[in-house]
Amino acid sequence: MEEIYIALFDIALFIFIAEFFKTQLRKIDLPDLVSELIAGMIIGPYAVGGLINDILGFHLITLDQYVLFISEFAVILIIFASGLEHGLSPLKEAGILGFMGATFGALLPFFAGYFIYANSFGSNSALFLGVSLGATSLAAVAYLIEGINTKGVKFLISASAVDDIVDLILLSTVLILIKNSTIVITSISLRIVSLIVIWLVILFLSITIIPRIANKLSDVYIEEFTMLVLFGLTLFMVYLGYSPIISAFVAGVSISNSLKSEKIKEIVTIVLSVFGPMFFVTVGAEVNLLLINLNTLLLALELTSIATIFKMLGIMPFAYLYIKDLKRAMIIALGMVPRGETGLVVASIGLSLNALDQNEFESIVFMSILTTVIGALVIKRYSHQL
């Protein structure tokens, strides 16, 4: 029972520290997301939090299941809020260009990572390194563009949402390749087709049925109905093998089409103002700075360069065709650079399967943080040109 109260203290402490760092670092014009990552890295159990634990003789600052639960709750709300704010219009307006940008923006870094590292690290490691390089964090993008509603942002949202599906397909394919000694093209093809078709069916049914039900409900039930849709859809899609990020976006887009979406936006904004920072603070707190040596740092910098360059090469042509402006296309491409939590998830799966060693794992973690910082700084600086 005591651990519950420790977790409640940790959650309150993380939120307070995040707000303190954001307030102070705004003075030097750092984005809030970067401030939250820094706050987590400092107060986390691998830095100052660990020293506090040693002094007290017990684990006060932890990343236990309760803290991680609130972190997961926060990221689901962040994505839901983005879908709620932007609706289906980004997917419609960016259309095939957004889809192609997301696809090539994920595939180019993936293949670059695989072919660069296959000989030196082995095929399995190279596959996971490639997946981590291809992934864009929809959570980071959604958090960074909050309140901005330009043409460039619509492309960013559309490409990021599709990117999550492409990343899931890549990860699923890699898992099939690693777990099977013989490559079965039929199994891979069926998996890819099923993931795309099921996602499209769920999206279509959600935006068709959910708004109609919401419009007929009394205002008394609309908040509860929204939570039921959000977490019910998340449970269902996670069971089918999708990320909760994807389900949260679908839920947000669906509710945005109802006549009562403005009321939901107000409530979600209030909740996010308190719990929103928990996600990126926790991501920062998960970084073990003690394990970062020179080899890890050099590999992380190398991965960051590959991730940035090949993501831009994949995105820029299609962003340019959509926006008709080279500089804005470049800003959009850099906005797609953050790997955030997606890179961390891929790294954790690779480590658990022994496809990655500790050095490769930590390099991916550090690369995920660096690319997220790069994307945050670019969007902060050039948001008016998106």
pLDDT tens digits, residue range 189-228? 787 788 888 888 999 999 999 999 999 888 888 889 999 9
Residue 98 sits in the same domain as residue 155: yes
pLDDT of residue 181: 55
Residue after which a domain boundary falls, among 68, 95, 116: 68
Mean pLDDT for 306-324 is 93
Domain hosting 263: range is 69-385
Residue 51 sits in the same domain as residue 94: no
pLDDT grade for 287, boundaries at 50, 70 and 90: confident
Residue 94 sits in the same domain as residue 27: no
The answer to whether the CB of 375 falls within 8 A of the CB of 304 is: no
pLDDT by residue (tens digit) across 327-338? 999 999 998 898
CATH number for 326: 1.20.1530.20
pLDDT of residue 150: 80
SS3 content of the chain, % helix, strand, coil (to 5): 85, 0, 15
Residue 194 sits in the same domain as residue 335: yes
User: Which is higher by pLDDT, 179 or 21?
Assistant: 21
pLDDT of residue 182: 58
pLDDT of residue 176: 74
User: Which is higher by pLDDT, 49 or 29?
Assistant: 49
pLDDT of residue 1: 54
Residues 337, 373: Cα–Cα separation, whole Å: 9
Residue 63 sits in the same domain as residue 106: no
Comparing C-alpha atoms, which of 107, 159, 164, 166 is closest to residue 323? 159
pLDDT of residue 231: 95
Residue 201 sits in the same domain as residue 73: yes
Residue 38 sits in the same domain as residue 49: yes
Would you say residue 66 has pLDDT above 90? Answer: yes
State which of 4-13, 187-196, 289-298, 340-349 shows the largest mean pLDDT: 4-13
Residue after which a domain boundary falls, among 40, 68, 96: 68
Residue after which a domain boundary falls, among 13, 47, 68: 68
pLDDT by residue (tens digit) across 80-117? 988 888 777 777 777 788 889 989 999 999 999 999 99
Residue 108 sits in the same domain as residue 64: no
Comparing C-alpha atoms, which of 172, 110, 163 is closest to residue 140? 163
What is the distance between the terminal CA atoms of the chain, rounded to a whole angstrom? 49
Residue 23 sits in the same domain as residue 93: no
Residue 380 sits in the same domain as residue 260: yes
Residue 52 sits in the same domain as residue 130: no
Pseudo-torsion of CA 114, 119, 121, 127, nearest 10°?
20
Mean pLDDT for 21-44 is 88
- Cβ burial, residue 177 (10 Å; 0-12/13-18/19+): middle
According to DSSP, residue 145 is labeled T
pLDDT of residue 251: 92
Q: Following DSSP, what letter does each residue of 288-340 receive, concatenated?
A: -GGG--HHHHHHHHHHHHHHHHHHHHHHHHHHHHHH--HHHHHHHHHHT---H
pLDDT of residue 376: 85
> Considering the chain, what is the average pLDDT of its residues?
87
Domain count, the chain: 2
Residue 28 sits in the same domain as residue 168: no
Would you say residue 310 has pLDDT above 60? Answer: yes
pLDDT of residue 290: 80
Q: Which two tokens stand for residue 379?
A: 């969007």
| CA triple 296-300-302, angle to 5 deg | 120
